[in-house]
Amino acid sequence: MSATEAIANGKRIVIKVGSALLTDKARGELNQAWVDDFSAKICAFLKDHKEIIIVSSGAVALGRKEMGISSDIPPGKIPLPLKQAASAVGQPHVFNGYALAFAKHGVGVAQVLLTMGETENRRTHLNARATLQELVSKGIVPIINENDTILTEELRFGDNDRLAARVAQMIEADTVILLTTTSGLYTADPGTDPKAEHIPVVETVTEEHIKMAGDALPGLSTGGMRSKIEAAQAATRAGISLVIAGSFDGKCTLFKAMEHAPNSRKRWIATHMHPKGVLVIDAGALKALKEGKSLLPIGVKKIEGDFERGDAVTIKTADGKIVGIGLSAYASEDALKIIGKKTAEIHEILGFSGRDALVHRNDMALQT
Ligand code: GLU
């Protein structure tokens, strides 16, 4: 399988571009010809009704020259403030390269700079998600990078591989393609070991794969193979397949999505964009939920919104704190009649026996 075939099998695809690909290392400038060629391929995918989100590196690499950082210094060795300044200088070059290339096809692009904190904070995560959905729905291609300039070492992803996996989870993409300078994972470093064998498919990421990846960081790359394997682990566990490839049509390594990713349903529930209503719960119910129990009607004090059975609802405490999101086992009309009542009374009140819980624990993702 090639990256193009993986894209053909998907619908919403995150494609990550490594710094080395779009940088002309000798000149320390953008390789516009590469970006043009890449963008033309993306436009062909768009015509094929694919939704494409690009995560692009290159800010630090393209800011080096103006900041006087020699191309021999690996990114990990550049002092953080200098690196952040370089990324501020280089990011406009990255974005401009894409803007020019996509404009030739009449396709709009949008710059989105994200931080790890924002993808982990529910509110900003939902905001970023909504923005990305909006852009994609209008046929605009988001060009995402980490917001390098404002981050401290602890708060950074540091590499765009894991950022790409996180973005894919955020927007429920089905496939991630990490485009890099190698054609995937090898049993050993192919640069130094002639016996190194290419691995076309990985069913499940294990410690062994992480060991194979090693710590080598070629040239301008930040993450190397290790961060790619970590990204593969995160993505596949969330039910997203991930491909590491050197080009769209060459050989690659496919990391298969876990079909029954243990947390994928909860993750899906947790990432609902527009819950249809609110269930306000009491202290007893809050305690029960924290112990992993279901939400019974008796623990619900108030209901807001109009929802059907199976719709997502936000679960809140009386003082407005969000506890989590769940799928309601009852439509709001029925739920209103049974809140504050014992489960045994449901049948008598509604005239039918529904589920014991208003939100079953398996249908609930608590916010921690
Ligand atoms: N955000 C960094 C940049 O644009 C790149 C991180 C990475 O290479 O993964 O330079």
**8 Å CB contact between 62 and 69:** no
> ∠ CA 74-78-79 to the nearest 5 degrees?
160
The average pLDDT across 334-358 equals: 91
For 22, phi then psi, to 5°, come to -100, 10
117 & 63 share domain? yes
Q: Give the model's pLDDT for residue 272.
A: 56
Does 255 reside within a domain?
yes
| Total residues found in the chain within this entry | 368
Residue 342 sits in a domain of what CATH number?
Answer: 2.30.130.10
19 & 74 share domain? yes
The average pLDDT across 340-350 equals: 91
256 & 345 share domain? no
Q: Give the model's pLDDT for residue 216.
A: 56
- Which of 17, 114, 146 has most ligand 1 atoms within 8 Å of its beta carbon, as the pocket-test mutant? 146
Does 166 reside within a domain?
yes
Domain boundary among 240, 265, 290: 265
The average pLDDT across 210-226 equals: 68
Domain boundary among 265, 295, 326: 265
Minimum CA distance residue for ligand 1 atom 5: 57
The average pLDDT across 176-198 equals: 89
Q: What is the pLDDT of residues 120-137, one digit of tens each?
A: 666 688 789 889 999 999
**8 Å CB contact between 229 and 209:** yes
Residue 98 sits in a domain of what CATH number?
Answer: 3.40.1160.10
Domain boundary among 265, 297, 318: 265
Question: Letter for the amino acid at 172?
Answer: E
For the cut 90, the answer to whether the pLDDT of residue 178 exceeds it is yes
In three-state secondary structure terms, 97 is: helix
Ligand 1: list residues with CB < 6 Å: 19, 57-61, 87, 145-146, 148, 159-160, 222-223
Share of the chain above pLDDT 90, in %: 62
* Nearest to 368, CA basis, from 122, 115, 118, 116: 122
Q: Residue 16 CA: which ligand 1 atom is closest?
A: 9
In which band, very low, low, confident or very high, does the pLDDT at 217 lie, cut at 50, 70 and 90? low
The rounded Å distance from CA 148 to ligand 1 centre is: 8
The rounded Å distance from CA 292 to ligand 1 centre is: 39
234 & 318 share domain? no
310 & 341 share domain? yes
- Which of 159, 178, 229 has most ligand 1 atoms within 8 Å of its beta carbon, as the pocket-test mutant? 159
* Nearest to 112, CA basis, from 140, 153, 84: 140
205 & 342 share domain? no
Does 295 reside within a domain?
yes
Does 77 reside within a domain?
yes
Mean pLDDT of the chain: 89
In which band, very low, low, confident or very high, does the pLDDT at 262 lie, cut at 50, 70 and 90? very low
190 & 255 share domain? yes
283 & 188 share domain? no
Q: Give the model's pLDDT for residue 261.
A: 56
The average pLDDT across 307-318 equals: 91
Does 34 reside within a domain?
yes
DSSP character at residue 359? B
Share of the chain above pLDDT 70, in %: 92
Q: What is the pLDDT of residues 61-120, one digit of tens each?
A: 999 999 999 988 988 899 999 999 999 999 999 999 999 999 999 999 999 999 887 776
* Strand blocks (E) in 214-262: 241-245, 252-255
Does 51 reside within a domain?
yes
The rounded Å distance from CA 161 to ligand 1 centre is: 9
354 & 214 share domain? no
Tokens found for residue 104: 């030739």
More confident residue, 262 or 38: 38
In which band, very low, low, confident or very high, does the pLDDT at 14 lie, cut at 50, 70 and 90? very high
Does 65 reside within a domain?
yes
The rounded Å distance from CA 146 to ligand 1 centre is: 7
Domain residue limits at 37:
3-265
Tokens found for residue 12: 């919403």
- Which of 15, 19, 82, 221 has most ligand 1 atoms within 8 Å of its beta carbon, as the pocket-test mutant? 19
Q: Give the model's pLDDT for residue 190.
A: 81
Q: Residue 223 CA: which ligand 1 atom is closest?
A: 9
Q: Give the model's pLDDT for residue 53.
A: 98
Report the distance separating Cα 86 and Cα 104, nearest Å: 28
The average pLDDT across 335-357 equals: 90
For the cut 90, the answer to whether the pLDDT of residue 198 exceeds it is yes
For the cut 80, the answer to whether the pLDDT of residue 368 exceeds it is no
Please count the CA atoms within 13 angstroms of the CA of 128 that sit on its side-chain side: 29
195 & 339 share domain? no
Q: Give the model's pLDDT for residue 189.
A: 81
Tokens found for residue 319: 């003082």
Does 270 reside within a domain?
no
The rounded Å distance from CA 76 to ligand 1 centre is: 11
**Domain count for the chain:** 2
280 & 243 share domain? no
